[in-house]
């Protein structure tokens, strides 16, 4: 059987064994509803409280500022819609960027239909965004700036801490939200000036279906999910106790020996980039200052879907970009991120995203480079022949 090499960790990560171990008691013995006042419920409530304290400590915030959600998408929606509806009498202008995750872009487009004005900021050729670009877009009507911390396709890092500081210095009333889904475990976010921060567990070895939203004290949101009033009334619904426990344990692991793990990931990335330099017509899209877990690269002349199939035949799993965008094959479009960076269609159509995790090894990197060297000449030859036929 071919050994599997999983390099699509920006889409989702495998659950860490330590996380599964931490969750099992809350799937079997301690299955109570945390809102119940009997012993079973109190056991569950205690686990939720302790997990909240752990996550707050690791993110440098107060435990009362952690709201549990079901996903990063839900967290983004609660943050953006919640601020828009709570502050619409103060202004109706929102600032975001053209390279955000669909959870942000589609929410902003919905709000435009409700009468809000949204500015979609351009990014530089390497996919980065400067604080000056954000500051120039501010108006007296601006109520929210919502920007990702790390781009899911290229790994580009937005200087969200500096953006937040400068925006607050200009206008303290503007709320800063950051989608931190791809940042947790890869960076150590400083949330001093950030009002809202989205987290998704399955991006750092927790299960799918659990996330968190940091809501700093003094920030008022109008809830978009109402009911029993759980999570400070901002996200009603019985808490996913086992998932919450898993989220806290996964975040502990993510920041355990953080510097050593980051150094190892940097070595993996450097080895991969060095190997790509030896492959003809390989164009790296990720900026030099990107997270160590993500490399977006275009293999000119080799359609990405064909190359992905060739890699999968050798047990190597990568992706053409965002998993959320790739899933809808019936209306698949070119990556909006790469288009915003100004890449020509021929490069966009040959781009593959490789994303690493704590379980990726040097052997995985070397095997992937070897597979690319084997597959690319044949794929490019076939593609050239097809283009010649259609002329």
Q: ∠ CA(182), CA(333), CA(95), 5° rounding?
A: 50
Q: For position 384, what pLDDT does the model report?
A: 83
The SS3 of residue 119 is: strand
Tell me the C-alpha to C-alpha distance, in Å, between residue 360 and each of 1, 97, 266.
19, 31, 12
Q: How many CA atoms lie within 13 A of 352 on its CB side?
A: 26
Spatial contact of 387 and 302, defined as CB atoms under 8 Å apart: no
Q: For position 327, what pLDDT does the model report?
A: 52
- In order, the DSSP letters of 179-216 are E-TTTBTTB----TT-SEEEEEGGGTTSPTT-EEEEE-
CB atoms within 10 A of CB 319: 21
Q: Is 211 exposed, middle or buried (0-12, 13-18, 19+ CB in 10 A)?
A: buried
- Render each residue's pLDDT in the chain as its tens digit; 391 residues: 568 999 999 999 999 999 999 999 999 999 999 999 999 999 999 999 999 999 999 999 999 999 999 999 999 999 999 999 999 999 999 999 999 999 999 999 999 999 999 999 999 999 999 999 999 999 999 999 999 999 999 999 999 999 999 999 999 999 999 999 999 999 999 999 999 999 999 999 999 999 999 999 999 999 999 999 999 999 999 999 999 999 999 999 999 999 999 999 999 999 999 999 999 999 999 999 999 999 999 999 999 999 999 999 999 999 997 655 555 544 457 999 999 999 999 999 999 999 999 999 999 999 999 999 999 999 999 888 776 676 6
| The one catalytic residue among 27, 187, 306, 324 | 324
Q: Going by C-beta distance under 8 Å and a sequence separation of 6 or more, which residues neighbour residue 256? A: none
Spatial contact of 147 and 59, defined as CB atoms under 8 Å apart: no
- In angstroms, rounded to a whole number, what is the distance separating the alpha carbons of residues 223 and 215? 12
- In angstroms, rounded to a whole number, what is the distance separating the alpha carbons of residues 5 and 363? 9
For this structure, is 108 an active site residue?
no
CB atoms within 10 A of CB 354: 29
Q: What are the backbone angles phi and psi of residue 242, rounded to the nearest 5°?
A: -60, -40
DSSP bridge partners of 146: 177
Instruction: Specify the CATH number for 17-254; select among 1.10.1370.40, 3.50.30.30, 3.40.640.10, 2.40.50.100.
Output: 3.40.640.10
Q: For position 322, what pLDDT does the model report?
A: 63
Q: Going by C-beta distance under 8 Å and a sequence separation of 6 or more, which residues neighbour residue 91? A: 139, 140, 141, 142, 143
The SS3 of residue 72 is: helix
CB atoms within 10 A of CB 130: 15
Tell me the C-alpha to C-alpha distance, in Å, between residue 343 and each of 195, 214, 324, 334, 383.
33, 34, 20, 11, 20
The class level of CATH for 5-13+258-390 reads: alpha beta
DSSP element (H, E) containing 176:
strand 175-179
Q: For position 330, what pLDDT does the model report?
A: 43
SS (HEC) of 219-286: CCCCCCCCCCCCHHHCCCCCCCHHHHHHHHHHHHHHCCCHHHHHHHHHHHHHHHHHHHCCCCCEEECC
Domain boundaries, the chain: 5-13+258-390, 17-254
- In angstroms, rounded to a whole number, what is the distance separating the alpha carbons of residues 344 and 361? 33
């Amino acid at each position: 059987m071919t050994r599997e090499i999983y390099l699509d960790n920006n889409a989702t990560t495998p659950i860490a064994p330590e996380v599964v171990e931490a969750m099992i008691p809350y799937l079997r013995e301690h299955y109570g509803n945390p809102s119940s006042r009997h012993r079973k419920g109190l056991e569950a409530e205690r686990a939720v409280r302790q997990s909240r304290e752990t996550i707050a400590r690791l993110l440098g915030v107060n435990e009362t500022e952690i709201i549990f959600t079901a996903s990063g998408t839900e967290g983004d929606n609660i943050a953006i819609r919640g601020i828009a509806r709570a502050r619409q009498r103060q202004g109706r202008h929102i600032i975001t960027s053209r390279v955000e995750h669909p959870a942000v872009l589609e929410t902003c487009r919905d709000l435009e239909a409700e009468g809000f004005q949204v500015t979609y900021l351009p990014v530089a050729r390497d996919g980065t965004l400067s604080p000056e670009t954000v500051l120039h877009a501010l108006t007296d009507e601006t109520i929210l700036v919502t920007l990702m911390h790390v781009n899911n396709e290229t790994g580009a890092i937005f200087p969200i801490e500096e953006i937040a500081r400068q925006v607050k210095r200009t206008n303290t009333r503007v709320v800063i939200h950051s989608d931190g889904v791809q940042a947790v475990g890869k960076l150590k976010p400083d949330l001093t000036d950030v009002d809202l921060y989205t987290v998704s567990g399955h991006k750092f070895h927790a299960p799918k279906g659990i996330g968190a939203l940091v809501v700093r004290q003094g920030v008022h949101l109008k809830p978009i999910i109402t009911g029993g009033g759980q999570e400070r009334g901002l996200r009603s619904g019985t808490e996913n106790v086992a998932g919450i426990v898993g989220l806290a344990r996964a975040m502990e692991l993510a920041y355990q020996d953080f510097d050593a793990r980051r150094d190892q990931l940097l070595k993996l990335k450097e080895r991969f980039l060095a190997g790509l330099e030896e492959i003809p017509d390989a164009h790296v899209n990720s900026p030099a200052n990107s997270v160590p877990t993500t490399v977006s690269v275009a293999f000119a002349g080799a359609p990405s879907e064909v190359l992905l199939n060739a890699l999968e035949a050798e047990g190597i799993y990568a992706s053409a970009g965002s998993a959320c965008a790739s899933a809808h094959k019936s209306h698949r479009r070119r990556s909006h991120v790469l288009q915003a960076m100004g890449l020509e269609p021929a490069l966009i159509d040959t781009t593959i995203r490789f994303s690493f995790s704590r379980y990726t090894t040097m052997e995985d990197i070397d095997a992937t480079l070897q597979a690319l060297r084997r597959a690319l000449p044949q794929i490019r030859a076939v593609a050239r022949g097809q283009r010649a036929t259609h002329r």
